[in-house]
């Protein structure tokens, strides 16, 4: 169990920089000012201009080295068949989400979401487009991950994904415009500064001003909380990666491949459906065992409470 949790933590660590780039409009960075407020303004303006690589460029050099080292070390330990299997199934799943869109939106499962259905429909193409870009990117190749250049990744795939998300639907375009407008209208001021520590007040139109502490590390101003935890978090990640042995990977591989095979079978069934009824039946076949397990668990809980 601990090994599975450790792998989950590692995956989370690797996914974070990607998600950070994908959920915030793009960024540029070049010469970041030496002042804390100037740094935040420069990053904000770069994001508004559409260049996510600014997030990477704003990190201290040692932080960049840490993330790169951990990424490459993780890729060296990961089993290629497991990694390729996950991304293969991911690409197939994206195909189902794209090609069977109307079947899914008309399904009983989505209709059961009630008022949220309209939101699901409005964001569908955006989400599918983002997933498509991620599953087709350098992350899909373990060999590419072994030499991953995060700055290049954010400047290319990250920027392309954000541009796609901003124009994929009228809803996402409006949200993007509102986000950019807020970024450009935001104000940053220094509340206090003492050497390598500073407190900034950030004001955004329509929102309450917020104060945040920053610390200067190797000439870069970063959130104080991030700086305080960085070394410990990186040491923990390195320790977890180092603890993964070929024997452990081999032991977990059979279970991982079985799970991948099961999910792939379900996705293939959904992809093969040619009518709405066939798709609904495939969904029932796929979800039936899980719904049964949930029902059994609920019944057991009810029996215990009755006792």
Nearest to 198 by CA among 173, 182, 217, 179: 217
pLDDT digits (tens, 9 = 90+) for 69-90: 999 999 999 999 999 999 999 9
Burial pattern 164-196, b for ≥16 Cβ within 10 A else e, equals bbbebbeebeebbeeebeebeebebeeeeeeee
pLDDT digits (tens, 9 = 90+) for 139-149: 888 888 999 99
Question: Which tops the pLDDT comparison, 288 or 215?
Answer: 215
Question: Which tops the pLDDT comparison, 22 or 194?
Answer: 194
User: Which letter does DSSP use for residue 140 in this model?
Assistant: G
| 8 A C-beta contact, residue 53 and residue 151 | yes
Question: Which tops the pLDDT comparison, 182 or 228?
Answer: 228
Distances (CA, A) of 296 to 3, 171, 262, 278, 283: 28, 41, 21, 27, 20
User: Which range, 52-61, 111-120, 282-291, is most confident?
Assistant: 52-61
Q: Is the pLDDT of residue 292 over 60?
A: no
* Summary mean pLDDT of the chain: 81
- List, in order, residues 6 or more apart from 161 with CB less than 8 Å away: 21, 22, 129, 130, 133, 134
* Rounded to 5°, angle at Cα 169 from 168 and 175: 100
Instruction: Return the structure tokens found at 236.
Output: 């923990």
Packed helices 246-272 and 80-99: angle between N→C axes, nearest 10 degrees: 20
- List, in order, residues 6 or more apart from 143 with CB less than 8 Å away: none
| 8 A C-beta contact, residue 187 and residue 203 | yes
Q: Is the pLDDT of residue 208 over 80?
A: yes
pLDDT at residue 127 in the model: 85
Share of the chain above pLDDT 70, in %: 80
Nearest to 83 by CA among 150, 140, 130: 140
Nearest to 269 by CA among 96, 88, 103, 86: 96
Mean pLDDT score, 52-69: 95
Q: Which stretch of 110-119, 160-169, 193-202, 226-235 has the lowest confidence by average pLDDT?
A: 160-169
Please state whether beta strands 210-217 and 220-223 pair in parallel, antiparallel, or not at all (unpaired): antiparallel
> pLDDT grade, residue 289 (50/70/90)?
low
> pLDDT grade, residue 299 (50/70/90)?
very low
pLDDT at residue 138 in the model: 85
pLDDT at residue 197 in the model: 97
CA–CA distance, 11 with 139 (Å, rounded to integer): 12
pTM: 0.72
| 8 A C-beta contact, residue 121 and residue 105 | yes
CA–CA distance, 107 with 280 (Å, rounded to integer): 7
Q: Is the pLDDT of residue 236 over 50?
A: yes
Nearest to 3 by CA among 241, 226, 190, 217: 241
Please state whether beta strands 220-223 and 197-203 pair in parallel, antiparallel, or not at all (unpaired): unpaired
> pLDDT grade, residue 297 (50/70/90)?
very low
Question: Which tops the pLDDT comparison, 303 or 161?
Answer: 161
Share of the chain above pLDDT 90, in %: 48
pLDDT at residue 183 in the model: 78
pLDDT at residue 96 in the model: 95
């Amino acid at each position: 169990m601990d090994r599975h949790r450790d792998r989950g933590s590692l995956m989370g660590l690797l996914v974070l920089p990607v998600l950070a780039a994908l959920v915030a409009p793009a960024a540029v960075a070049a010469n970041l000012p030496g002042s804390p407020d100037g740094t935040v303004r420069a990053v904000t303006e770069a994001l508004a201009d559409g260049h996510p690589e600014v997030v990477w460029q704003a990190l201290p050099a040692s932080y960049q080295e840490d993330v790169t080292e951990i990424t490459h070390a993780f890729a060296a330990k990961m089993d290629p068949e497991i990694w390729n299997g996950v991304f293969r199934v991911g690409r197939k799943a994206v195909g189902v989400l794209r090609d069977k869109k109307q079947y899914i939106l008309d399904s009983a499962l989505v209709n059961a979401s009630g008022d949220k259905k309209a939101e699901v429909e409005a964001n569908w193409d955006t989400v599918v487009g983002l997933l498509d870009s991620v599953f087709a990117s350098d992350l899909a190749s373990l060999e590419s991950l072994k030499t991953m250049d995060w700055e290049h990744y954010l400047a290319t795939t990250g920027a392309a994904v954000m541009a796609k998300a901003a124009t994929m639907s009228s809803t996402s375009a409006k949200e993007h415009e509102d986000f950019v407008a807020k970024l450009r209208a935001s104000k940053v001021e220094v509340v206090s500064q003492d050497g390598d520590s500073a407190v900034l007040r950030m004001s955004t139109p329509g929102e309450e001003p917020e104060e945040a502490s920053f610390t200067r590390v190797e000439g870069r101003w970063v959130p104080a909380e991030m700086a305080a935890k960085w070394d410990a978090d990186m040491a923990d990640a390195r320790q977890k990666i180092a603890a993964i042995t070929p024997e452990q990977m081999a032991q977990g591989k059979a279970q991982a491949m079985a799970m991948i095979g099961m999910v792939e079978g379900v996705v293939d069934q959904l992809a093969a459906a040619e009518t709405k009824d066939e798709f609904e039946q495939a969904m029932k076949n796929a979800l039936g065992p899980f719904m049964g397990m949930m029902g059994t668990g609920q019944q057991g809980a009810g029996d215990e409470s009755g006792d």
